[in-house]
Structure 1
Amino acid sequence: MMIEIDFSSDEAIYIQLTNQIIMGIATSRLQEGDTLPSVRQLADTVGINMHTVNKAYSLLRQEGFVTIDRRRGAVISIDVNKRKALEELKQNLMVALAKGCCKSVSREEVHQLIDEIFDEYDENR
């Protein structure tokens, strides 16, 4: 698993880490049952604090992307609650679309962008 942190970004490091793991799942680079590196191992590899990795893993657990097992550590385990996932997606999209509207992004441009993203995910499955 390749993690790249942009230390100059305004986005918190734990959020970058969380998002990259979610993208790994969406593009099938990470599969159900895969074990993520230990907190210490990932922190050393990426060059970040262990507490930052722990915070990202906790968020992934809360959002239903991993389970934490005492022996195996963080394991990819997708929560199949589609209704909950759709509600979370709706909330995130509302903010993203509001930002786009403020920048005069059209409905057609949004649809095209969504199609491009779905095509990318379909290619990797």
Structure 2
Amino acid sequence: MLIQLDFESKEPIYLQLIHQIIEGIAKGQLKPGEDLPSVRSLASDIGVNLHTVNKSYQQLKQEGFILIHRQKGVVVNPEGVPSATTAYIKQLSHKLRPLISESICREMDEQAFLNVCSDLYKEFMTERQGN
């Protein structure tokens, strides 16, 4: 999986990294049990501070996407990502609120918003099935 960061983006680097790793898992580019680079190695490869990578990995670990072993290193959770819970759905709703608000302010109707979501979902599932 190729990590591409936008150093000019308003989104913090650690979040970009988190989002790209989660996207890689969702699309099937990163398989359960697959090794990820060490903090030091990934930081060197993508040209960021190792604390940035460590912050990303720690959050991914906390959310159940990866496991960090002292001897084995970093791996995609071999048992898969935990299923959506009520707490996750609440968090998702919280994250969607500003996107929906902005879409309404920009006079985007509900169907157009849902079409964007549906198209992205289908794209991910298509890539996942191709892997």
Alignment TM-score, normalising by the size of structure 2? 0.87
Instruction: Give the CA deviation at 1:54.
Output: 0.2
Q: How does 1:68-107 map to 2 (within 5 A)?
A: 68-77=68-77, 78-83=80-85, 84-107=87-110
Task: Specify the code of the residue in structure 1 equivalent to 2:81.
Answer: D
User: In the aligned structure 2, how far is the partner of 1:60 from the partner of 1:95?
Assistant: 23
1:35–1:85 CA distance, 2 compared to 1 (3 A): farther
Say if 2:114 is the partner of 1:111: yes
- Alignment partners' CA distance in 1, 2:113 and 2:39: 37
C-alpha RMSD of the superposition: 1.4
Deviates more, 1:107-116 or 1:86-95: 86-95
Residue by residue, what CA displacement relative to the aligned partner does 1:2-53 show, whole Å, maximum 9, x if unpaired? 1111111111110111111011011110111111100011011001110000
Shift of residue 118, structure 1, vs aligned partner:
1.4
Matched with 1:53 is 53
Residues 85 and 74 of structure 1: CA distance in aligned 2, closer, same or farther (over 3 Å)? farther
Give 1:58-69 correspondences, 5 Å limit. 58-69=58-69
Gaps of 5+ in 2: none
Fraction of identical pairs, as percent: 37
- Whether 1:13 and 2:16 are equivalent positions in the alignment is no
Q: Which runs of 5+ in 1 are unaligned?
A: none
User: How far did residue 100 of structure 1 move?
Assistant: 1.6
**Superposition TM-score, scaled by structure 1 size:** 0.91
User: Relative to structure 2, which stretch is displaced further, 66-75 or 44-53?
Assistant: 66-75
Higher relative contact order (CA 8 A, sep 6+): 2
Q: Residue 76 of structure 1 aligns to which amino acid in structure 2? A: V
Instruction: Please give the alpha-carbon distance, in whole angstroms, between the structure 2 residues aligned to 1:42 and 1:9.
Output: 20
